[in-house]
Chain A
């Protein structure tokens, strides 16, 4: 079956990303020549635990005279259009009623569940209800005729394979595919298909405008990053959103990645929502995110209550690291676990755990600096001075205890063993010890210079560094992000290899990863002076 993904501006990037929408669990996933209907993973508990996966997969088939026929599809941001011999179908989201709206003309449609494992189906006066893989669908035909077998198979503890066939009435199908919890009054869809599609496009447009700009040569990066952020944005119980790494298979999200993603938003409310969406996790990146908000002027004019909330959250983070990850009387903090660094296997841990790591303390310098600035904005000069002093003392300690004149290194808390240069070479793809570059102008000139050259070399000669995986690309991009906020591009320009190596083509394959894409986008936006603040 020929496959014809759209190439229009800001498209869903089928087949690499699903056709989906913020605030909707419905997605259409392309696999080979086939489209599949699915629901985003929710990870609800059950008596028999299952592996993470999209809920309720249905293969979408076009039928003509009862037989499957080939189809092609195109998609823009709000409508997926499917063409087959003799007819066409269009699909859009209807978040007002938690549904997918489908219109078709001249063809029949089939949704084939392909498996009966754990499926419970029921024909109801409103259409077939199918509980499958943690999702609950209701297929409701407003025009057209549904055929569905809900036979219960006694010893299978479930229904037969759910196959929903919809034949047109008068050549037309109007189908609403709800995703509703049980015991819910079925909301009647309002408005036309086109009005819903227009609404989706408008909402995406508004979302798009909340994201930083990019120069023309990076428009593809921006398109993919923005759509991925939109698609992977998950609504939490309190109404706020967070960004999941991949809504198809996982509902899990991490706070430190929200901090990174917040760089891509150019208004305080959006960035703040992400930053506060989840309890702080490790590494502590909120300070990093807030210092950029300060740099970009996002805090200007923000209500004191919001600033106070931000301040208290950051203060709690600082306290946690002081109480739980700092030896009594010490100026520097440590990671107890490797994963606390945000990477599964950092070179810093070659000296064993717990480890006083340069990257962690760089993050904490920024956290203290952010706290100092927020305290000043709130009129608490004593607290502001205290945190400013804390930032300075930590940076001084980093330079005296973790810098050997050429490089940063990690130290085991108990044994005092230093991370060797050899281990850093062995772990060359990783850049834990270049992360302090995010401190930019706060570092002495020679330290910055040596770090930047080292980073540039790794950037340009990575045996398997950035570009190898989304996570490693994210690490490099995050350092670059710190750099472009710390220094103007013309200053960075003297590190030619650094700038030349940035944003290589192989990085771009990860633009559709929501966090990596967001960080790369924020970095190019800042580097090329696109401005971020909405006035």
Chain B
């Protein structure tokens, strides 16, 4: 899959495995240098103290290597000699070598601290050889690492200076003199017992098991359109490798956004991940429900993001209805067992009511003062920041907040309908009818009050925002609930040349807009995976299959060419002015750099369900 001579390297894509916090990647500057890191702390790769340079050694000296990785393992090769890493889902990594040794050297990407000079090993708080063999090191917030040498020799070097700080840390794995081989396990864990410890399967068995696990995971997806099979493999691998095991604050498996950059599991992205998993509906449904495990009992709010270190602030769009409605439309209505309907109905209802209470336009939602005794006269909402709509720098929010946003309300409509479905599934007929009534009323409001004849408009203090954002067409997700003339107009506008449609998909801002930027930006010009997925799925639902396919194909072709990246600049210049666009970013947390599960799931939905 990945490698020195493969289509994609590990410069942008981290190498990881389902259920592990360890990742490996290739350094951007020092080509050919692999590193090992850990995402548990939430550190970005540009500011972490826990990274190890990986050297392949012969007779103790570092030698150049090439590498190849698939789901089973990552192998570094130098001539006939190799060193191989296989990650488990049991908090350890196996490392073996044949004809070569390996050296792992701790580094930091944070600025130096003078009194800790040279400071590369600043994460290290201590290391010692354990009574039963092996060495345990403490890395503070990164937890502990235990190295267990199973074959060959292992030693570490950790000198410290007069100030009590370690100058460096190197782990050295040396092949056995007679066999030429070494084998070791690197365990990572928090305070407490090493888990597991004492039993290791044969290395080849682990590699085989990893591949089997990935193959099993892939069976949860439907096949993709012809020509996208290889890209789909990369996409599914990206999701699989970002799937975290329960640990610390994380109660059940969840899919992280990034390993190296934005190291969080974003709330609404869990439902994105559910959408293409149409051959494993149990898992898809679980993913839609997973954030409800953290639902605030008082308000009904779902957290914005989760990390190993806790629940982060923020609020993300009520996307679950869109995802569930899509699944139901694609696979049939009876996928949710009655007991699940009964269990989830009140949670969904509470989540909707969170929005219509705490973001109610009628109650002055801008103020944090819900009045439980007062019922809003409508379900019109106002959001308080662009993140609540999902689009951080979309131009329809240029007039500020609170903003009444038809996109968020369209998500709410679908969530209300799904709440009605759950009520019906639980045998609650009246509740089902009531929820459908609310959905229909809100739909009518969106059509009557937020469609200006050309686009959907966001309003601030009742005044439409003059914007050229792709988000102005996102309520197409309401599909055939919208009048035909609106559907036609949306399709017409989106497919018109020179505005949103580019060779690589829909741009997030019209190319005729003076606000377009391709720099450090998310949705103010770039062609971005989730927007292309949402719009194409929406057009499909509205009966515009041809247009949906056209958009999806353009985006998927770009991913096929460039990799599982969230956002692409469609041009090297700004079409409005002809001025050259800034260079594409170097390694950074922008959406134009790293491989991410958010692109992977959006690609999979388009490639398996939108494209014929």
Mark interface residues in B155-167 (1 if CB within 8 Å of A CB, else 0): 0000010111100
Query: Of A157, A186, A414, which one neighbours B393 at CB under 8 angstroms?
Result: A157
Query: Of A48, A154, A182, which one neighbours B515 at CB under 8 angstroms?
Result: A154
Residue contact A336 to B136, C-beta cutoff 8 Å: yes
Residue contact A122 to B128, C-beta cutoff 8 Å: no
Between-chain CB contacts (< 8 Å), 28 pairs:
A45-B42, A45-B264, A45-B305, A45-B307, A45-B310, A46-B312, A47-B312, A49-B42, A49-B44, A122-B366, A122-B401, A150-B401, A151-B400, A152-B397, A154-B397, A155-B520, A183-B301, A183-B370, A184-B368, A186-B368, A186-B369, A337-B127, A337-B138, A344-B163, A344-B165, A345-B165, A353-B129, A354-B128
Centre residue among B384, B393, B400 by max chain A CB count within 10 A: B400
Query: Of A126, A154, A337, A344, which one neighbours B369 at CB under 8 angstroms?
Result: A126
The answer to the question of A528 belonging to the interface, with a C-beta cut-off of 8 Å to chain B, is no
Residues of the B chain whose Cβ atoms lie less than 8 Å from the Cβ of A184: 368
Query: Of A129, A155, A343, A345, which one neighbours B521 at CB under 8 angstroms?
Result: A155
Residues of the A chain whose Cβ atoms lie less than 8 Å from the Cβ of B515: 154
Q: Which residues 37-81 of A sit at the B interface, judged by CB distance below 8 A?
A: 44-49
The answer to the question of A338 belonging to the interface, with a C-beta cut-off of 8 Å to chain B, is yes
Residues of the A chain whose Cβ atoms lie less than 8 Å from the Cβ of B369: 126, 185-186
- With A45-B309, A123-B366, A126-B369 given, is the CB distance from A155 to B401 under 8 Å? no
Residue contact A337 to B126, C-beta cutoff 8 Å: yes
Residues of the A chain whose Cβ atoms lie less than 8 Å from the Cβ of B164: 338, 343-345
The answer to the question of B233 belonging to the interface, with a C-beta cut-off of 8 Å to chain A, is no
Mark interface residues in B339-382 (1 if CB within 8 Å of A CB, else 0): 00000000000000010001000001011111000000000000
Residues of the B chain whose Cβ atoms lie less than 8 Å from the Cβ of A131: 313
The answer to the question of B531 belonging to the interface, with a C-beta cut-off of 8 Å to chain A, is no
> A152 to B313, alpha carbons, bound, how many Å?
19
Q: Please report whether the interface of chain B is mostly helix, strand, loop or mixed according to DSSP.
A: loop
Residues of the B chain whose Cβ atoms lie less than 8 Å from the Cβ of A336: 126, 128, 130, 136
Smallest beta-carbon distance A428→chain B, Å: 13
Closest A-B pairs by Cβ, 7 of them: A345-B164, A337-B126, A353-B128, A344-B164, A124-B367, A152-B400, A45-B309
The answer to the question of A200 belonging to the interface, with a C-beta cut-off of 8 Å to chain B, is no
Query: Of B129, B162, B384, which one neighbours A414 at CB under 8 angstroms?
Result: B129
Residue contact B125 to A339, C-beta cutoff 8 Å: yes
The answer to the question of B503 belonging to the interface, with a C-beta cut-off of 8 Å to chain A, is no
> A345 to B125, alpha carbons, bound, how many Å?
10
> A440 to B47, alpha carbons, bound, how many Å?
48
We find that the number of chain A residues with CB closer than 8 angstroms to chain B is: 41
Q: Which residues 131-163 of A sit at the B interface, judged by CB distance below 8 A?
A: 131, 134, 138, 150-152, 154-155, 157
Residues of the A chain whose Cβ atoms lie less than 8 Å from the Cβ of B395: 154
Q: Which residues 314-372 of A sit at the B interface, judged by CB distance below 8 A?
A: 327, 336-340, 343-345, 353-354
Residue contact A125 to B128, C-beta cutoff 8 Å: no
Which A residue sits closest to B306, measured CB to CB?
A45
The answer to the question of A525 belonging to the interface, with a C-beta cut-off of 8 Å to chain B, is no
Residues of the A chain whose Cβ atoms lie less than 8 Å from the Cβ of B104: none
> A343 to B163, alpha carbons, bound, how many Å?
11
The answer to the question of B299 belonging to the interface, with a C-beta cut-off of 8 Å to chain A, is yes
Smallest beta-carbon distance A48→chain B, Å: 7
Residues of the A chain whose Cβ atoms lie less than 8 Å from the Cβ of B162: 345
Centre residue among A47, A122, A124, A126 by max chain B CB count within 10 A: A47
The answer to the question of A198 belonging to the interface, with a C-beta cut-off of 8 Å to chain B, is no
The answer to the question of B43 belonging to the interface, with a C-beta cut-off of 8 Å to chain A, is yes
Query: Of A44, A185, A327, which one neighbours B368 at CB under 8 angstroms?
Result: A185
Smallest beta-carbon distance A472→chain B, Å: 12
Residue contact A183 to B358, C-beta cutoff 8 Å: yes
The answer to the question of B289 belonging to the interface, with a C-beta cut-off of 8 Å to chain A, is no
The answer to the question of B392 belonging to the interface, with a C-beta cut-off of 8 Å to chain A, is yes
> A517 to B163, alpha carbons, bound, how many Å?
24
Q: Which residues 154-184 of B sit at the A interface, judged by CB distance below 8 A?
A: 160, 162-165
Which A residue sits closest to B125, measured CB to CB?
A339
